Structure 1
Amino acid sequence: MYGECGGLMYLGESISTDAGEFEMTGFLPLETVMQKRYVGMGYVINQAACDSLLAGRGEVIRGHVFHHSKARLTGKADFAFKTLRGSGITEDRDGMIRENVLASYMHVHPLGCKGFIDGLINPPPDSEIKKQDQ
C-alpha cells in the first residue's frame, strides 16, 4: 500500500485542525497538525535508504510537496528515504514504512522514479523489504 501526502496523514493517529482533533487509522506513529500557511512546497529529491515499494537502496526519487500540515512522530519510525532537497516527514527523512506500507509527503513524479509504476503493480513481498541501517 502506498499513501501519498493526504494518505500519509490518514494512516497516522490523528489530524488536528481549528475545528478539533480527528482520529485516523493509527497505523503509523504520527500525528498531523494543520497550519494556516504552507509548511512544505516545492521540488523534492529523496534517496532510497532501503529497498522499498518505490525504489531500491541508493536510487534517487524526484517529486514535489505542497502541504499545510506538520507531522509529529509519536513513536519509533522507520524511513525509506533520506531527503536530499526539500522537506519530508522530518527535516531529512521521508517515506515512513511499516510492514508492506509506504507513506510519504512527497508526490512522486512517475518519470522521476523508475520503479514507481512497477512497484505499485507488483509490490515486493514483505520479506523482501529491507529495513534501513539505523
Structure 2
Amino acid sequence: MNVSRNFMLLGSAFLIVGIVLGMYMGGSGDHSLAISHAHINLLGFVLSAVFALTYKAYPAMAVERLASAHFWLHFVGAVMVNLLVFLLLAQIITEAAMVPFAPISEFLVLLGVLAFSWNVVKNAN
C-alpha cells in the first residue's frame, strides 16, 4: 500500500467535492452549508494532504502497519463525519438521527490521528 499516494488521492477527492460545494454556495447565494464546506476542505483535503506529504518526507513511517491503520481510520471516519455534517446542515437528518454514527466517526478520526502521532514518535527522525 502506498499510503502517501492514497492520502493524496483521498485529499484530491475531498478537494473536488469542496470546490463544487463552494461553487454551488457562491452561485446560489445560500451559504447554509458553509460549515460542511469547511469540514470537507479541512478534515478532508488539508489533513489528507498533510498526511500524504509527511509520509513522503519520512518513508520509514509509510512502511509501518500504523500507516495503513491510520489511512483506513481517517478514510472511513472523515467520510462519515463529512457526510453526517452535510446531511444535518441540508436538513436531511436530525441531530438525533446522527447517534451513534457521529461519535463513532469522530472516534475513528481520533484513532487515526493517534496512530499517526505514535508513528511520528517512533519513526520521524
Q: TM-score of the superposition, structure 2-length normalised? A: 0.25
Q: Comparing both structures, which one devotes a greater share of its residues to strand?
A: 1
Higher normalized contact order (CA 8 Å, seq sep 6+, divided by chain length):
2
Larger radius of gyration: 2
